[in-house]
Structure 1
């Protein structure tokens, strides 16, 4: 059996022969976002609201030059990616964030929207941003080329980073699971302990990678707004 079979959306989840149902696991996060039907919020509701407030505060710091409410876009993307990463750790669940196209679906449109906005509204300042301060005159053309390439590849590097971290973690868990088969009892206990530790580590990685993806995307987007500069 291939090690990469867990990343195939048509091989890890079957319902009445509908192999494409794997992609619908992406929307499981919506089941956790419904509001309470009671006047007084529950403890879980209070924890969720406090978490969302702290999350919006973090994105507000990164989006210094943006208008209020913009951070909600990045908070929503963070929650979707976080739950996709987290649910992917369960058996027979598919991890959409291990696919490059899924990550590009979030990074490219949002980055391109702010990027085009900056070039249309603040063309002169965006051009000046391509040349660092104190750059020698002979190197200006070369620095413009380097800065342009580094700006254009930003959504791609964000997506590849997220994909690589998700794939590497799941491959380690798969290798440890396959190593347990036909081993002595003592070795099995040790491998189970190691795999449990790796699972806890992957839970942390799921949160960190979702946060890094969104905070870097927010910082890149904030560079295109010069209203408060």
Structure 2
């Protein structure tokens, strides 16, 4: 169930496994109280802290850019944390889902840079101090490394989520035919791995968004 995108239960918006991502929208429910609750204050402080972090990596100081990357982080970390619940689908463990987020954003940054800062983008393909004989070779290498950025970004997130979840699944399955002492040891190991996986889920969402901010800077020479 954790890795299977198909579900035997279907609702009017499609597969039930994929629709679990819609829980992210619950974070934007407006409070009906005149004064903010503790949860609303915690959420506001968290969003402000994330905005300050992404502002460090962004050249532009526009609030729209910070809001975009903060929203993307909250979406990814929600999907990652939902996958920590037993028998719930982990959407970020699928390459198609990650490419759906990374490719459109990288393509937008890439096209924007080449249209508005064409000369700077050409200069970026040739590092300073490159010998004349290696210029053509370096341009090819830089183009390839730039082109595969969304793929490596997606594979990084997928690999980290799959590896931890798979290890937890294997440990859980091995408890079926184990004695009581071994079950207690495996439970302790699985609890420690779950704590580690919880940190990985948050860190990988942060790394995904922070690398996207750096990719956006490569196309912004303002």
Q: Quickly name the TM-score band, shorter chain normalised.
A: over 0.9
- Aligned to 1:76, the other structure's residue is in SS state helix
The correspondence for 1:81, drawn from 76, 79, 102, is 76
**How far does the alpha carbon of each residue in 1:186-226 deviate from its partner, in whole angstroms, 9 at most, with x for none?**
11111111111111111100000000000001110111011
**What is residue 89 of structure 2 aligned with on the other side?**
94
Q: What is the CA distance between 1:84 and its match in structure 2? A: 0.4
**What is residue 10 of structure 1 aligned with on the other side?**
6
Cα gap change, 1:148 to 1:66, in 2 (>3 Å):
farther
**What is residue 112 of structure 2 aligned with on the other side?**
117
**How far does the alpha carbon of each residue in 1:93-140 deviate from its partner, in whole angstroms, 9 at most, with x for none?**
101111111001111111111110110011011000000011111111
- Aligned to 1:148, the other structure's residue is in SS state helix
State the Cα RMSD in Å. Answer: 1.6
- Aligned to 1:114, the other structure's residue is in SS state helix
**What is residue 151 of structure 1 aligned with on the other side?**
146
Question: Gaps spanning 5+ residues in structure 2: where?
Answer: none
Work out the CA distance in 2 between the residues paired with 1:67 and 1:33: 21
Q: What is the CA distance between 1:182 and its match in structure 2? A: 2.2
Work out the CA distance in 1 between the residues paired with 2:56 and 2:44: 19
Aligned pair 1:103/2:121, yes or no?
Answer: no
Aligned pair 1:162/2:157, yes or no?
Answer: yes
Give yes or no for contact 1:97–1:163 (8 Å, CA) kept in 2.
Answer: yes
Give yes or no for contact 1:107–1:158 (8 Å, CA) kept in 2.
Answer: yes
- Aligned to 1:69, the other structure's residue is in SS state helix
Q: What is the CA distance between 1:33 and its match in structure 2? A: 2.5
Q: Runs of at least 4 residues of structure 1 off by over 6 A?
A: none
Give yes or no for contact 1:98–1:162 (8 Å, CA) kept in 2.
Answer: yes
Q: How many residues align?
A: 221
Q: What is the CA distance between 1:14 and its match in structure 2? A: 3.3
Work out the CA distance in 2 between the residues paired with 1:140 and 1:66: 34
Work out the CA distance in 2 between the residues paired with 1:71 and 1:173: 35
Work out the CA distance in 2 between the residues paired with 1:6 and 1:70: 32
Q: What is the CA distance between 1:53 and its match in structure 2? A: 0.2
Bigger drift between 33-42 and 153-162 goes to 33-42
**What is residue 64 of structure 2 aligned with on the other side?**
69
Work out the CA distance in 1 between the residues paired with 2:106 and 2:66: 14
Work out the CA distance in 2 between the residues paired with 1:71 and 1:136: 39
Aligned pair 1:219/2:214, yes or no?
Answer: yes
The correspondence for 1:172, drawn from 145, 167, 173, is 167
**How far does the alpha carbon of each residue in 1:81-101 deviate from its partner, in whole angstroms, 9 at most, with x for none?**
101010011122101111111
Give yes or no for contact 2:59–2:220 (8 Å, CA) kept in 1.
Answer: no
The correspondence for 1:47, drawn from 27, 42, 51, is 42
